[in-house]
Amino acid sequence: MVLLIIVWGITGPIFGFSDTWQLVINTGTTIITFLMVFLIQNTQNRDTGAIQTKLDELIRAIEGAHNALLDLEDLDESEIEHIRRDYRKLAKEARSALKKGMSDTDCREVVHKMEKKIDEKVEAKVDQKEKAKRSAGKVH
């Protein structure tokens, strides 16, 4: 990056800071900015995928955890919001218990009314992906 600034500073006087020189510099800056954004976004996507996989493993490994929450990011917004509402309600109840001097560390079952629906959607998506893989295999 420092090298680019030095080149920019040296080439300005050589080309007399002309309109063409400014256009080339602006175009180059735009391209570099686009590439940097692409690189950063790609890195963030990989990082998010790794974190999501780790969280999925923790959910899977903890006895009593809801496996329906695995791949939650694949659900649509209304389904996610419904589940979040259930957890917000649970948090509110826990804060209320703390105010009464009770413990908030219970591990009672959280019943998501949409769990069956979510399981069906996840299974349908998995089936869809498997069919697509099989179809792709037949084409080759």
Of the residues 45, 65, 85, which one is the last residue of a structural domain? Answer: 65
Of the residues 35, 50, 65, which one is the last residue of a structural domain? Answer: 65
Same domain for 50 and 3?
Answer: yes
Range of 115's domain? 69-140
Q: What is the pLDDT of residues 10-27, one digit of tens each?
A: 888 888 888 888 888 889
pTM of the prediction? 0.50
Q: Which DSSP state fits 107? A: -
Same domain for 73 and 38?
Answer: no
Residue whose token pair is 């420092």:
2
How many domains does the chain divide into?
Answer: 2
**Which residue type is seen at 129?**
K
| pLDDT higher than 70, residue 99 | yes
Same domain for 81 and 50?
Answer: no
Same domain for 74 and 137?
Answer: yes
Same domain for 95 and 119?
Answer: yes
3-state class (DSSP) for residue 19: helix
Is residue 29 within a helix (H) or strand (E), and if so which, with residue range? helix 19-61
Q: What is the pLDDT of residues 32-91, one digit of tens each?
A: 999 999 999 999 999 998 998 898 888 888 887 878 788 888 888 888 888 888 888 888
Same domain for 20 and 84?
Answer: no
Q: Which DSSP state fits 109? A: P
Q: Which DSSP state fits 8? A: H
3-state class (DSSP) for residue 106: coil
3-state class (DSSP) for residue 64: coil
pLDDT, position 8: 79
Residues 18, 105: Cα–Cα separation, whole Å: 69
Same domain for 137 and 73?
Answer: yes
Token reading at 19: 């309109």
Q: Which DSSP state fits 17? A: T
Q: Which DSSP state fits 104? A: S
Exposed/middle/buried for 117, CB within 10 Å: 0-12, 13-18, 19+?
Answer: middle
